């Protein structure tokens, strides 16, 4: 039976790649990649020369059927994203579901992701939390914030650099200026930053600087 391996890739530091992940990629008949140019740099670093096949958010709906058919004629294939674990705010869910429906094995390797180091390193309660990924950009955004204002657990969000200040402003508006937050930026990279405090303080910090890179926002539960 063929197997699709879900392989997490480093979110920054290349040393965060497991020995098992490297072996699986070297043995796979082909590798599905979100951006083949980005993935080739990583694979070249580890001397992995298997065939790369494009599988991204813009073609996922169209290519799932053909990928599943191809998987039925090989021993194994691997799915990777640009960074982190596939299917978490990245392509992968549709293919994984289709593989199960077609009787193809699916094995997900443990490995890098931004969610866990962000909430663990934030100092914000991490025993119970919800992950919301990227909030809607426009339609439904206010409604989502009103829902989150009622949430009693810690909240983890992804956000882009150019919307960070807007997001922190919305946290202050909908959740209150006394809510604690932590912005984790560029996790495991050279310019890693964890900025923690009341949302007003963190907002002031980021209003005064231009930020780049991947961002995770951790929001503490409301004070009791």
Q: How many CA atoms lie within 13 A of 169 on its CB side?
A: 7
- pLDDT tens track for 83-107: 999 999 888 999 999 999 999 999 9
What's the gap between Cα 48 and its chain centre? 23
Q: Residue 31: pLDDT band by 50, 70, 90 thresholds? A: very high
d(CA 181, CA 93): 29
- pLDDT tens track for 51-87: 999 888 777 788 899 999 999 999 999 999 999 999 9
**3-class DSSP assignment, residue 27:** helix
d(CA 112, CA 116): 9
Instruction: Compute the chain's Rg from CA coordinates.
Output: 19
Cα torsion for 137, 138, 140, 146, to the nearest 10°? 80
- pLDDT tens track for 115-154: 999 999 999 999 999 999 999 988 999 999 999 999 999 9
So what's the pLDDT on residue 218? 98
Dump the DSSP string for 165-224. Answer: HHHHHHHHHHH-TT-EEEEEESTTSTT-EEEEEEHHHHHHHHHTS---S-EEEEEPPPP-
What's the gap between Cα 176 and its chain centre? 27
Percent of all residues in the chain with a pLDDT value above 70, rounded to a whole number: 100
So what's the pLDDT on residue 199? 98
So what's the pLDDT on residue 89? 87
């Amino acid at each position: 039976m063929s197997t699709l391996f879900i392989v997490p890739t480093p979110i920054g530091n290349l040393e965060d790649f497991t020995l098992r992940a490297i072996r699986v990629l070297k043995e796979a008949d082909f590798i599905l990649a979100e951006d083949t140019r980005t993935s080739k740099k990583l694979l070249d670093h580890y001397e992995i020369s298997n065939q790369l096949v494009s599988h991204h958010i813009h073609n996922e709906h169209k290519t799932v059927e053909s990928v599943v058919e191809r998987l039925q004629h090989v021993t194994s294939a691997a799915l990777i994203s640009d960074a982190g674990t596939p299917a978490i705010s990245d392509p992968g869910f549709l293919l994984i579901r289709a593989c199960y429906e077609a009787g193809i094995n699916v094995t997900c390797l443990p490995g890098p992701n931004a969610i866990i180091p962000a909430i663990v390193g934030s100092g914000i309660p991490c025993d119970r939390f919800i992950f919301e990924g990227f909030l809607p950009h426009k339609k439904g955004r206010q409604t989502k914030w009103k829902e989150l204002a009622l949430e009693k657990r810690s909240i983890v969000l992804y956000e882009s650099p150019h919307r960070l200040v807007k997001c922190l402003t919305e946290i202050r508006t909908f959740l209150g200026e006394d809510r604690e937050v932590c912005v984790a930026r560029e996790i495991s990279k050279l310019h890693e930053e964890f900025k923690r405090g009341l949302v007003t303080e963190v907002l002031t910090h980021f209003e005064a600087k231009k930020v780049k890179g991947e961002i995770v926002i951790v929001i503490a539960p409301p004070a009791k």
